[in-house]
Structure 1
């Protein structure tokens, strides 16, 4: 016998059926290969949830930089099924434009992957990645670093596999949806476990991986807390779920500000990200930005009128100067966010700008269900509806707007007439957004 032996990727640390039969188990849920061939019940079937999961994963607190950053992930919607009516409207959840590979080539080796994980990796490379890679060439270059990071960082690999499984769960309208959702949760859980350990030891070697994982986590949060899981999320109001996503957005931004300047110089798109984060809350920057937007004449008159009306309403109904300032800043950021999406149609991440930058005082008012805060949220729903078309963000705007309308009385409901009209079928959008 010559040559080296072909290595196997199985282990005796498998299910009880394989241990009892003293055979190697491939440990691939929901049913390992041996049990699947024999038609036996596999231990891994118990790992795939059949009931809604409610408990959230504990928060991650970062101490290495002197800051306490709560980085939370909450898979409470994992057990829910998307209603058939939603699937009929958007199915399949696949990119409408030609797919673009982001670099998962044969030169990148991922050892110890079972057949199921290979399927997920292939789907991510050929399909899922195309659903969130921006059209900008420089941003695609940033995305192109994911394959290398996934090869050297287990938690990034789990992020990739989990995201791919979530996408497949949305694509499949049959019983496989529950299977893929369960697989996604397993990868997300494993990835979070490794991420918690790594994020407390931020250094130049792992900063790219931490940056990538935290960014992808935003997609998970939107997908797993989606309003279409309403039947399984009766304990949490839709607005609270959206605020939970907003909180994660802000914590991710806070995490990114702890990265050293050298990190943002390593890849071209990063300086733009850093500049957006550091300049976001500077009042002088906001004032000059508003002047530039006005001079550009890119924003439709309907949006200009919206911002003016909201500012006037704020002056009339808000007596407290602190609250009035919080509302005013939130309106300005909303206006700038509309402008950004008009200028860069199709870049879905810009729709999160409001969540990243709106004053924390405003978020508190929204949490308290203050009427004017709800009115501003309803106008943000118009931006979500016309400015995004990703599978993890679809339908958020309609569900949130319905929830807002149910909370407002007759005195306030008139102030959301435009948002309600703007998301109706057949409405002629004045925006330059790509739907």
Structure 2
């Protein structure tokens, strides 16, 4: 990462911004100072990286891909923000999701062989599986029932296939995580990566069915609470789903809410 940073100052600025946010987390008595430093480097980086994104090409694709990935971590590292729930927002579209989708756009814009091997997009790792984790109670039964519900309520609508596929891919992510085949904690975000643009747009618009499925995804990211930059996000996102989901659909949140340990208001 450092070698890319020295050749591309916007990556270096983003690394400094993320480091400053980590220091703000570790030294709360100096938080304001470190956050100011993070903001300074972040703003400098955005000025530099924007034209690179516009002119994406084989010579800058590695640096741009790394930059948008770090930007996602910086968004997490700032901590939960009012009205920002990662895959959707309360008053506007999610800034974080726009950056996350930028990873997919960057990857799709350049042929895989143009990326250097160490930063090539999403190639399955051969590392050791994650340590055994507590399996969410009856997740197979819950996801089967969710799929039946989604299939029924989406029947004869243009969104049926997208909705059912979202549950099927989520089930795949659960199985990979809890049957020990995943090799990285953040592989879970592959669910959002694989969702169609139309599905993500409906999630942004707070369509109840995508929101319910998203709540079940939040259970998977609960394990990331152990990392400083994700602390507080799981409960924050679940609270946003609860607040903005119409009451008649909230019964479908009981299982995911219990799994993440969030307390209803």
Q: TM-score normalised to the size of structure 2?
A: 0.81
The question of whether the paired residues in 1 share the 8 Å contact of 2:24 and 2:32 is answered with: yes
Please state if 1:330 is matched with 2:176: no
1:206 and 1:269 map into 2 onto residues whose CA distance is 12
Q: CA deviation at 1:178?
A: 0.7
The question of whether the paired residues in 1 share the 8 Å contact of 2:225 and 2:233 is answered with: no
Q: TM-score normalised to the size of structure 1?
A: 0.52
Q: Which residue of 2 aligns with 1:188?
A: 42
Give 3-state SS (helix, strand or coil) of 2:73's partner. Answer: helix
The question of whether the paired residues in 2 share the 8 Å contact of 1:207 and 1:259 is answered with: yes
Give 3-state SS (helix, strand or coil) of 1:322's partner. Answer: coil
Give 3-state SS (helix, strand or coil) of 2:227's partner. Answer: coil
Partner of residue 117 from structure 2, selected from 240, 258, 267:
267
Moved over 6 A (4+): none
Q: CA deviation at 1:301?
A: 7.9
User: Which residues in structure 2 correspond to 1:337-348 (within 5 Å)?
Assistant: 337-342=173-178, 343=180, 347-348=184-185
Q: Which residue of 2 aligns with 1:373?
A: 210
User: Which residues in structure 2 correspond to 1:32-431 (within 5 Å)?
Assistant: 146-174=1-29, 176-224=30-78, 226-227=79-80, 229-230=81-82, 236=83, 238=85, 239-240=88-89, 243-264=94-115, 266-267=116-117, 270=120, 273=122, 302-342=138-178, 343=180, 347-387=184-224, 389-424=226-261
Q: CA deviation at 1:414?
A: 1.7
Greater radius of gyration (CA):
1
Q: Which has the higher contact order (CA 8 A, sep 6+)?
A: 2
Structure 1 gap segments, 5+ residues each: 1-145, 231-235, 277-298, 426-435
Distance 1:390 1:344, change over 3 A: farther
Give 3-state SS (helix, strand or coil) of 1:240's partner. Answer: coil
Distance 1:352 1:362, change over 3 A: same
Deviations 1:33-70 (A, max 9, x none): xxxxxxxxxxxxxxxxxxxxxxxxxxxxxxxxxxxxxx
Deviations 1:231-250 (A, max 9, x none): xxxxx454417843223211
Deviations 1:86-109 (A, max 9, x none): xxxxxxxxxxxxxxxxxxxxxxxx
Distance 1:269 1:372, change over 3 A: same
1:416 and 1:396 map into 2 onto residues whose CA distance is 17
| Deviates further, 237-246 or 356-365 | 237-246
Structure 2 gap segments, 5+ residues each: 126-134
Deviations 1:215-240 (A, max 9, x none): 2111112233x32x43xxxxx45441
Q: Which residue of 2 aligns with 1:43?
A: none
